[in-house]
A and B are shown apart, each in its own frame.
Chain A
Amino acid sequence: MQELELFRINALYRDDFRIMGYSFGEGEETVCVMGSMRGNEYQQIYVCSLLIKKLKMLEEEGRITEGKKILVIPCGNPYSVNVKKRFWTIDNTDINRMFPGYDKGETTQRIAEGIFRNVKGYRTGIHLASFYMPGNFVSQVRVMKTGLENVEMAKQFGLPFVVLHHPRPFDTATLNYNWQIWETNAFSVYTASTGAINKKEANKGMRAILNFMSKNGVIDYRGDEGYISRVVESTDFMAIRSHTAGFFEAMAGAGDRVEKGQKLAVITDPMTGDVKETLCSGEEGVVAFMHNETLCYQNTAVIKVIPDRV
């Protein structure tokens, strides 16, 4: 394992901003795993740490295929993590809206460029991503439909779902999109949580990435085969929306199989405790997303179910 400093910015009062990478094997740039780029993505850093531990062991045992290089970057934004701020410390910009970056531009553009310079050119790019909505989600691989996507390859993670989605305007400045444009097979892997570590799902995510590398001949690893992934479009998700606001109480979790009509959550009046709304599943399926904050706003998609019929 080689510990590499990939990017540095000198600071005035804080320690220098440094992005570290951990590389395994030598030769063709084969798989790159990008962890957090936002300050609250603890689960994403944690998955990378599990991966680094395991890859280090595999390398010591000579189980990384000759001529293949793997790079893991656990944290692309230590500054925001260390002050517990989601976006960039000074101007609140999002590094994952700055790709491919610009080395003469503003700070987060420079950071994005610094990251992209190191990660482009890999045959496969895996970003451990998070949703902007607060909640837990079923483990999944998301693939952006740019015309260059590789759905068959996405199934090799063996995660329950491969989710295809059409890029929205802001997606064009994400790492995943730009990886694809620069001819890397790009996947975003979601492992249940963001701001709280879910060890079980993190381990599942780590094994999914190892399985993927194994199936692609990058490492010699025998894990469980995982799931036969179901490929769904993000537009097939059935959103269950709150029609009222209040305290949110979930009665099911992400990944749970649910029946039609099953109660999934209630929204109560914070002051009287009265139930204002009961949210039920309109169809039989799997809970893909469950809101996980106490407060819930009106008109919000607080639950998403992947119906069996799609």
Chain B
Amino acid sequence: MTEEIIKIAGAELPVNEELTIKKHRMIGSGESEKRICVVTGIHGDELEGQYVAYELARRIKEDPEALQGTVDIYPAMNPFGIDSVMRGIPAFDLDMNRIFPGNSQGDMNEYLASEIVKDMVGASLCLDIHASNIFLTEIPQIRINELHKELLVPIAEKSNVDFIWVHGASTVLESTFAYSLNSIGVPTLVVEMGVGMRITKDYGDQLVDGIFSLMGELGIWKAYVPEVRRPVVSYDESGMDVYYLNAPVSGVFIKDTLHGAVVSEGEHIGRIVNPLSGELLADIVAPADGWLFTIREYPIVEEGSLMGRILKQEVYEGCRN
């Protein structure tokens, strides 16, 4: 096996610094031409993928002979954001996941985005690892645009996540990294797991197992591949499978139920309280039976803030039976 750190794109900064986006390339000694790209850090405050990037490389290096094809790990798509604890691109206040496929003639960020896409061309599979945001904790899941479900759902089922959520197409999402890559024929899975600004090691280990499973399927990895769990799959193109819990009032949300819980209609999930007056402002209960796959982590809520998502019981049960 050979390995190398490669700069894939860069830009000069005003005072004595260069912004670079790098990847860790590992090429196995086998014959396989296949290549998997593991990408994270498009949002600078989502750090769950940092552990995955490290752990994946560590496990490959433990058994280098088993590697057949190519593994490219891109741990920091938005190095500015990671460095300054910001979701977007600092200085521009720009969501990096809304500028793809980029533009080689565009501004610095669009140029970097276009170089990133160029680097992925020809890959057999790509995983774009996100960590929800700082507000919500998520069960390890893969989100798939309905336009790409036929190809991607069978692949996602091998990735050891708990949940696959096929959502409706939306014009706004056409500027995401995953949409751009899927459009040019690089199958790309969007992973959401854990919460922003933290590393949930168990989820990281679960996903790394899943990546080895995918590498096994692709013939990139010829060694023990852990057995993967069977995910719940929601074909939610019409947006009817999920209940959204939005805060009815502004206040402080106290989470009383953990994400991943199966809840019944009317079951207590949390409270919104007013620390100034000591009042209970709202008792948050499940609107129906189902699976609480998202829960709010950040306590401050305002009217409308998302506090949780519940997958309908029949969808959940349908996959579990």
Contact = CB atoms under 8 A, between A and B. Distances in A.
Interface of A: 9-13, 86-87, 90-92, 97, 104-110, 132-133, 168-170, 172-173, 239, 241, 244-247, 270-271, 295-301
Contacts of A247: 14
12 contacts: A9-B302, A11-B250, A86-B93, A90-B305, A91-B133, A92-B88, A132-B92, A170-B175, A295-B14, A297-B91, A298-B11, A300-B107
B252 interface: yes
Interface stretch (B138-146, B166-174, B263-271): B166-174
Contact of B246 (A106, A245, A301): A106
B226 interface: no
A170 B11 contact: no
Nearest to B112: A299
A84 to B, nearest CB: 13
Contacts of B91: 295, 297
B94 interface: yes
B115 to A, nearest CB: 10
Nearest to B17: A245
Given A12-B251, A91-B135, A271-B15, 7 more contacts: A9-B303, A11-B250, A12-B252, A12-B274, A108-B304, A298-B108, A299-B111
B308 to A, nearest CB: 13
B274 A296 contact: no
Contacts of B108: 297-300
Contacts of A270: 14-15
Contacts of A297: 11, 13-14, 91, 107-108
A296 B14 contact: yes
A245 B14 contact: yes
Given A12-B251, A90-B300, A92-B87, A105 B12 contact: no
A7 B11 CA distance: 44
Interface string B77-118: 000000000011001111000100000011110010000000
Interface in B259-294: 274, 276
B99 to A, nearest CB: 9
**A-side binding surface: helix, strand, loop or mixed?**
loop
A90 B247 CA distance: 14
Residue in A9, A109, A270, A299 whose Cβ sees the most chain B Cβ within 10 Å:
A299
Interface of B: 11-16, 87-88, 91-94, 98, 105-108, 111, 133, 135, 171-175, 244, 246, 249-252, 274, 276, 300, 302-306
B93 A11 contact: no
B14 A246 contact: yes
A54 B94 CA distance: 37
A170 B94 CA distance: 12
A8 B302 CA distance: 12
B171 A172 contact: yes
B11 to A, nearest CB: 5
B107 A10 contact: no
Contact of A105 (B11, B173, B304): B304
Contacts of A106: 246, 304-306
B13 A271 contact: no
A300 B250 CA distance: 41
A172 B274 CA distance: 38
Contacts of B133: 91
Contact of B12 (A92, A173, A239, A245): A245
A151 B152 CA distance: 43
A10 B303 contact: yes
A132 B135 CA distance: 25
A305 B11 CA distance: 24
Contacts of B171: 169, 172
Given A270-B15, A297-B13, A104 B175 contact: no
Nearest to B111: A299
Given A244-B12, A245-B12, A299-B111, A169 B304 contact: no
Contacts of A132: 92, 94
